[in-house]
């Protein structure tokens, strides 16, 4: 079974701090990785995609990928209360264009 695993949280960080969200995957054939943000009652919104080892930065968000360790992370700098949401990690494997999702990490940014 190809799996993507995340700590369900909640992860609580104070406003202005760095939030670190982690994800591991079991299928070494996974090629691409995605982070989605989902507010309660809303559909997932794509934040970042990452395809190669290393870091990818976009504004306050940095995605990190380590294929040798089968590990993906998302860093949110200067966390804001509006960042409070569930963050879903997803991996693309195989040739059928199907994403496998983790269970999500709930982030709470406190004032």
Partner 1 sequence: SAVISQKPSRDICQRGTSLTIQCQVDSQVTMMFWYRQQPGQSLTLIATANQGSEATYESGFVIDKFPISRPNLTFSTLTVSNLSPEDSSIYLCSVWRGGTATYEQYFGPGTRLTVT
**What is the binding site for partner 1 (CB under 8 A)?**
32, 34, 36, 41-46, 49, 51, 88, 90, 96-99, 101-104
Least distance from C-beta 8 to partner 1, angstroms? 10
- Between 51 and 81, CB nearer to partner 1: 51
Q: Between 77 and 98, whose beta carbon lies closer to partner 1?
A: 98
3-state helix, strand, coil in the chain (%, to 5): 5, 55, 40
Q: Are strands 85-93 and 105-110 parallel, antiparallel or unpaired?
A: antiparallel
**Closer residue to partner 1, CB minimum distance, 56 or 67:** 56
Tokens of 107: 């982030």
**Burial (CB count <10 Å: 0-12, 13-18, 19+), residue 42:** exposed
Least distance from C-beta 24 to partner 1, angstroms? 15
Give 75 or 99: the residue with its C-beta nearer to partner 1: 99
CB of 69 to partner 1, least distance (A): 22
Token pair of 80, please? 């804001």
Provide the minimum distance between the beta carbon of 43 and partner 1 in the complex, in angstroms, as a whole number. Answer: 4
């Amino acid at each position: 079974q190809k799996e993507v695993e995340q700590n369900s949280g909640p992860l609580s960080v104070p406003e202005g701090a760095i939030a670190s969200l982690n994800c591991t995957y079991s299928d070494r054939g996974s090629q691409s990785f995605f982070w989605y943000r989902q507010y309660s009652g809303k559909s997932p919104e794509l934040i970042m995609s990452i395809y190669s080892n290393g870091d990818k930065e976009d504004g306050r968000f940095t995605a990190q990928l380590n294929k040798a360790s089968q590990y993906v992370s998302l860093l949110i700098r200067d966390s804001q209360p509006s960042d409070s949401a569930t963050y879903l990690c997803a991996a693309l494997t195989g040739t059928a264009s199907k994403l496998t999702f983790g269970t999500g990490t709930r982030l709470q940014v406190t004032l």
